[in-house]
Every structure is written in C-alpha cells, then in structure tokens.
Structure 1
Amino acid sequence: MSSTTSQGAKVVPVSDPRPHPENHRSHHPKPGSKSFVNPWPSWNGLAPPLQFAKARLRGDITAKAIPEDVQARVNWQKTTFEYAAETSGKIKVAWLGHASMFLEFPGPAGGSRGLRGLCDPVFSQRCSPSQWMGPRRYTAPSTTVAELPEIDLVVISHNHYDHLDVGTITALNQRFPALHFFVSLGVKKWFLGCGIPGERVTEMDWWDEVLYSRRIPGQAGEQSLRIGYLPAQHFSNRGLNDLATTLWGSYSFETVPTATDVSQEVVKKVWFGGDTARRTISQDLERRLETEDPSVRSMAETELSELPSCPAHRQIGEYRGPFDLAIIPIGAYAPRYLMSPVHVDPGEAIEIFEEVRADRAVAIHWGTFSLSAEDVLEPRDLLASLCRDRNVTGFECWDMGKVMYI
C-alpha cells in the first residue's frame, strides 16, 4: 500500500503499525484460487444454491409484509446538519438508513468543522443491479446527496449492492470532487470504472492502517484521522462469476490529536462493522432451537453455545479497542440455517458489542430493505428485549436520521 496525495488530501500508511494477530493474511486466496476466504472454524461456507432454491419454494425466505406506517415506527426524521450547542469535542453521528452512516469527527478549536465521512452510503430506491427490480427500500433515506454538507471521505466495507451503490457513488463523486474513497482489496477497479481517479481510491487489506489528512478550506493546518481496515465474517460478489474475488471487512476510525488542537486531547474511536457473522447454525439445530419440547431445546442451546465463534471481533477489541462507539448490524438473519454464516442476529450482535470493547453501540442493517424472512421491525424489538434480559446497557436502535453526539 503506497502513499497518495490528491486535491489537498494525503493518505499514508501509518509509521507505527500496531500489533495484529498471527497469520493475519490467512484469508488471502490460496494457490490456484482467486477467492478470499473466512479462515475460521466458524465458517462452513455459504449454503448451496439448491438449498436457497428449496428454501424459497418452501417459503422459508419469503419477505414479510411491510406495515403501512413503517416509516413512523422506525422514528424516521429528516437529517439536519445543524448541531446542538456545546458539542465540540464530540463525534456527530447519524444513521441514514440500512448500513449508511454519517460521521463528523471533532474539529480544531475555533474551526468551522471536523473531518466528515460516510460509511457504506446507499441512497437509491433499490439495492440491486437494476433500479427496475430487486429489493426496494420501504423507508426513505434520511438525506440525499444534494442535501449533505461537504464530505471528505467514504469507506466501503464490501461490494454487495446494499453497501455499494453505483448511483450513490456517482452522485457523491460529482458533488464532491476532492472526496477520497477507502475500499477493500479488489474493489478499486470498480471505482476506476466509474471514472473516479485512482489517486482518490485507497485499497486496504485486513489490519492495514492509514493516516488520512486534509486541509479543510478556510481552516489553518491539517486535520488527520487514523483509518484501519479489519476482519469480518462475510463474503462478496456482484454477479454470478465473482464470488469472494474481492475482500470484505470492517473499519476503525481514530482521531489524531495535534499539539495546537485542544479539542482533540481526548482521542475518539469508532468501529464500523459493515456485515459480519458469528457462527454457522445447521438447519437441524435451528429446528431443535425452535421446538416446544423444553428438554430438546435445552440440549440444542447447549450445542449452540459450543459452536465455534468467529475470533475476529475479540481480536479487534484486543488489538484496536476499546471504542467509544461500535456500529453493528442486527438484521437480515432469518432463517438462521441460511443466514447465520454471513449475518448476525440481535443476540450475536450483543456478543460482538461486548467483544470489541465498545462503550456504546448503534444498530444498523435493519429498517430499510427486506432482505430475509424476519418481520421488518423484529430486529429492533428483539435487540431491546435481549438487552433487558442480559442487563446490557449502551446498545441502542437510534431514530433514523437523528444526529447523536458521542
């Protein structure tokens, strides 16, 4: 990974890389293969296409009806980028819908703003190769590209259509000519195909860290942000012939204090989970977990607790945590025998919250697109119920579009 400079922004590999796990490149394609892998026992592979076809015929993955008042029930509001008083030194954060997040990091004392970023922005009506068919959003995005304030950087966790959208990326590139994109290995080619100059796209591998610096017009000096690309258990593809040929992952952000910037004396750290998973649950185990026979269910719960779990989240907490905020997916998880290898459910999201060592967490990947079989509001309600049952505090579903201060 080399240094790049474009339109007032610099991206350089960090000079003091921090420790990372041994065998941290074990996800790379093996000789003779073009596919990245999830290198853990928690991954047993995607369900075969025939199993998906049978599940669809049985109705196992039929999308549930969307309530007519769903937008009100997710407490949707238009995002306004006018902040409350006394918020200097805090990160401004807004959930814009699905996995799309807005972040503004603390700026210098007396400055007009800090560095601003978007995570996995998708503002189109459908997350699909075509805007004529495919999953359609049932809640509107809480802002549009035209309504955004100036954005400095965008991170893309992986190349699935609900996380990487050509219409949104094209519009962002047209509106913000200095915008820098951070992407996973193999995805830069897609951006070049959209006409985005290569010096404004940085590819990253798991455990890579870069220092992004930019001089914001009208402000003295540069502002900097340390950005890391980290593991996740998931996969990638945009078609039938590119399965796992680009990498997937998560991101860390860390503010960088400067000698003259008293507002950044306290370092702020955020983890963005993108899409990730914890373990692989078989169809037989899922049936036994859902049975009404308490003895069978009890044995199934014991078996569930003994399944291998993805070690990446604990490693992220150990090597890059603790975090002020974790942004964690909670939806698109049913049925578990199909979705568990690639998507966490709310209970597993709580486990990740604890493993990455975050003070607070916000739930994403729900309330926008119907991508699996659970009721559209079930992820939110189940998360709240499980947090109460487990005495977990700090993990919340925010109102869509509302700016929060961390």
Structure 2
Amino acid sequence: MPASKRAANRYYSGPPSDHFDGALFFNPGGQLPGRFTDLLKWQFNGQRSKWPAANPSPFARARPAARVDGAGLTITMVGHSTLLVQTAGLNILTDPVWSQRTSPFSFVGPKRANAPGIAFDDLPQIDLVLVSHNHYDHLDLATLKRLKEKHDPLVVTPLGNDTIIAAAVPGMRLAAHDWGDRVEVGAHSAIHVEPAHHWSARGGRDRRMALWAGFVIETPGGKIYFAGDTGFHDGINYRLMAEKHGGFRFAILPIGAYEPRWFMAPQHQNPEEAVQGMKLCGAALAAGCHWGTFQLTDEPMDEPVRKLAGALEAEGLPQECFRALQPGEVWDVP
C-alpha cells in the first residue's frame, strides 16, 4: 500500500487485515455503504413518516442504584442506543448521548423526541463507556466531555475512534481495539470487541476511516451482547457470537432506523431480523434499542414496537423475552 494512500486515513494507520485494506475498513463478504446518488434518491423519495415533535416516555426518569453487585444485572434505558448496564459492581454506558441533536450542528439535525431516561446528574459513578462507532447518534463528543469531567471513565472503542475522541476530549482514558480483542475490566470481567456489519463517517471525506463494532461484556453472572449498530448480514456475525461465546444471558439489539430496506438493510436490521439475531446468538433475553428517540429514517415512530411484537408471535416466543425499552424503563434481568 503506497504511503500516500495510507496517509489518507487520518484516524488510523496499521497493517492490512481481513477487514482493513491498509487505508479503509470494510465488512468482510459484506456490503459497502450506499453511494451519494442513492442517498439523494432516498432523501427525495417522499416516504418519510411524520413523527410527533415530542413523544414523552410513559416511564419516569430513573434514579439508578449506586452499584449492582455480583450476578445481579440491571438495565436502564436512557434513549436510542444509550443504556446503563449495572452488574458485577460495574457501571457501564453504551453509546452515551445526552445532547439534544445527533448532528455536527447544534441548530439542525435529528432532534430528541423524548428526554433522556436518566438525568445526567443522577448517573451513578460511571466506570466504563462503550462507543461502537463514530456516527453522531453513537459518538457524542459533548456527552463524552461531560463524562470525562464528572466521572473520568475508561472508553473502549474500535480502532480509529480514539483519535476523534482524544482531539476533542483531552485526557480522556481510551482503549482502542480491533475485532477479536479482549479488554480486562475490574477483577473478574472483560470486554470483547466483536464484528458488526456497518460503516463509519463524521463527514463527507472520512468514510470507513474508523472501525465499527459490537461488544460482549463478560461477567461472573453471564455474558451480555451489545450489537452496536448493525445490518443483519445473513446472520453471519450472530452465528459467530454463538460459536465464540456459547450464548448470552442478555442482548441489546437495534430494532429501528430500517426503512427503506433497499437503502438501509446493509447497515440497520429490522425488528424481524433482530428476533432472528436473538435466536441465532443464543440470547435468553433481549432489549430493543435504536428506536423512538431520534428520527433517522422513514418508518413511523411506533412501527418497530409493533413489528417486534409480530415477529415474536410468528416465532412462538413470549413477548416479555424481547422488550423494546423506552427512556426511563428499568429491567432487573433474571
């Protein structure tokens, strides 16, 4: 790979692999993100549903316990892909976003339809943050700055995202890792960085310069799978997770931002695929995320919930085994 091409990636430099060509990351055997012309075709298709400007959660804002020790597991939905995971004495946030918009601008872009399910000042001491990739609805630099100032957590993220965070949040504790890496956290727990079928960009000129991933949280009470943002990809990564980890006590799986399918299928699974993913990876229980807070795509706000219920019924699964969580909702997992 010529030095000039390697230098074009301003986030990461490293040897080629089965998902890095020496300059850009890619999905092995998968699909690249759509072209700009495809984006325009979607944006002007006239099929975008109208969401309410505000859709408050039926759940009051949660006030989490300081810690959940041992094999106990409590999941609290903040909104979109932000959840508080409490287990084994650790407090973990996934893709934390407390900002009003998921955009490079404060005055335009997808805006919250509901308040965060935990007030920022009511968070317990946060030990660990998992950032799956660099899209604005997952990597929110304003929130990471607040977390650094108040909690100083360790941020575990895929390769290249550490460069973005370090430039905006000096001194933040960062651990950047490749797919397949294992990171020890606490006395008896670990984080596994695992494949997802997605892509990355913060603007128009940095596509696929930083890696995307899901995570497995390994604890004495069982394993928890946070899939990040992902297309179904024929279930390949779900099967891999089952083979490698032997099933899961709990999974956090995206169920929203999936229409139109011709454009979104490679990067965002739909509720029917999420149910298949739960089965394929061997998760006993699952929480649906990535829906109902920020309008990113065409489907109606409540459609993911209805389609999830229909998919569970079609598979003969109890509705309570896979819940579409709303902000403030707390699940004390069996």
TM-score, structure 1 length as denominator?
A: 0.74
Give the Cα–Cα distance (whole angstroms) in 2 for the partners of residues 310 and 238 of structure 1: 27
The answer on whether the counterparts of 2:257 and 2:299 sit within 8 Å (CA) in structure 1 is yes
Q: 1:323 to 1:243 in 2, by over 3 A?
A: same
Q: CA deviation at 1:197?
A: 2.6
Give the Cα–Cα distance (whole angstroms) in 2 for the partners of residues 65 and 152 of structure 1: 38
Deviations 1:244-280 (A, max 9, x none): 0100010001114xxxxxxxxxx3210001101124x
Q: CA deviation at 1:69?
A: 6.7
Q: Which amino acid aligns with 1:207?
A: G
Matched, 1:251 2:215: yes
Match in the other structure for 2:144: 169
Match in the other structure for 2:27: 38
1:268-347 paired onto structure 2 within 5 Å: 268-279=222-233, 309-347=234-272
- Equivalent position SS for 1:201: strand
Match in the other structure for 2:84: 102
Q: CA deviation at 1:310?
A: 4.4
Match in the other structure for 1:373: 298
Q: CA deviation at 1:225?
A: 1.6
Matched, 1:233 2:197: yes
Give the Cα–Cα distance (whole angstroms) in 1 for the partners of residues 39 and 46 of structure 2: 10
Match in the other structure for 2:51: 66
Q: 1:25 to 1:76 in 2, by over 3 A?
A: farther
Q: 1:338 to 1:80 in 2, by over 3 A?
A: same
- Equivalent position SS for 1:173: helix
Q: CA deviation at 1:349?
A: 0.5
Q: Which amino acid aligns with 2:44?
A: L
Give the Cα–Cα distance (whole angstroms) in 2 for the partners of residues 376 and 403 of structure 1: 21
1:4-83 paired onto structure 2 within 5 Å: 25-28=17-20, 30-31=21-22, 34-40=23-29, 43-60=30-47, 62=48, 64-67=49-52, 70-72=55-57, 75-82=58-65
Give the Cα–Cα distance (whole angstroms) in 1 for the partners of residues 77 and 17 of structure 2: 32
RMSD: 2.0
Give the Cα–Cα distance (whole angstroms) in 1 for the partners of residues 147 and 54 of structure 2: 30
Match in the other structure for 2:6: none
The answer on whether the counterparts of 1:228 and 1:251 sit within 8 Å (CA) in structure 2 is yes
- Equivalent position SS for 1:58: coil
Give the Cα–Cα distance (whole angstroms) in 2 for the partners of residues 57 and 323 of structure 1: 41
- Structure 1 or 2, whichever has the larger Rg, is 1
Match in the other structure for 1:217: none
Identify the match of residue 182 of structure 1 among 156, 166, 177.
156
Deviates more, 1:369-378 or 1:136-145: 136-145
Match in the other structure for 2:329: 402
Give the Cα–Cα distance (whole angstroms) in 2 for the partners of residues 201 and 162 of structure 1: 19
The answer on whether the counterparts of 2:26 and 2:32 sit within 8 Å (CA) in structure 1 is no
Q: Which amino acid aligns with 1:313?
A: Y
Give the Cα–Cα distance (whole angstroms) in 1 for the partners of residues 244 and 258 of structure 2: 28
Q: CA deviation at 1:82?
A: 4.0
Give the Cα–Cα distance (whole angstroms) in 1 for the partners of residues 28 and 65 of structure 2: 44
Match in the other structure for 1:283: none
Could you tell me which runs of 5 or more consecutive residues in structure 2 were left unpaired when the two chains were aligned: 1-15
Give the Cα–Cα distance (whole angstroms) in 2 for the partners of residues 132 and 184 of structure 1: 29
Match in the other structure for 2:166: 192
Matched, 1:206 2:179: yes
Q: CA deviation at 1:67?
A: 3.4
Q: CA deviation at 1:224?
A: 3.5
Give the Cα–Cα distance (whole angstroms) in 2 for the partners of residues 243 and 57 of structure 1: 22
Q: CA deviation at 1:25?
A: 4.1
TM-score, structure 2 length as denominator?
A: 0.89
The answer on whether the counterparts of 1:321 and 1:358 sit within 8 Å (CA) in structure 2 is no
The answer on whether the counterparts of 1:145 and 1:172 sit within 8 Å (CA) in structure 2 is no
Q: CA deviation at 1:147?
A: 1.6
Q: Which amino acid aligns with 2:332?
A: Y
Give the Cα–Cα distance (whole angstroms) in 1 for the partners of residues 87 and 205 of structure 2: 39
- Equivalent position SS for 1:358: coil
Deviates more, 1:153-162 or 1:188-197: 188-197
Give the Cα–Cα distance (whole angstroms) in 2 for the partners of residues 204 and 76 of structure 1: 36
Deviations 1:149-184 (A, max 9, x none): 11111010001000010110000000013x111011
Could you tell me which runs of 5 or more consecutive residues in structure 1 were left unpaired when the two chains were aligned: 1-23, 107-113, 214-222, 257-266, 280-308
Deviations 1:324-383 (A, max 9, x none): 000000000000000001000001111110111100000000010000000011001110
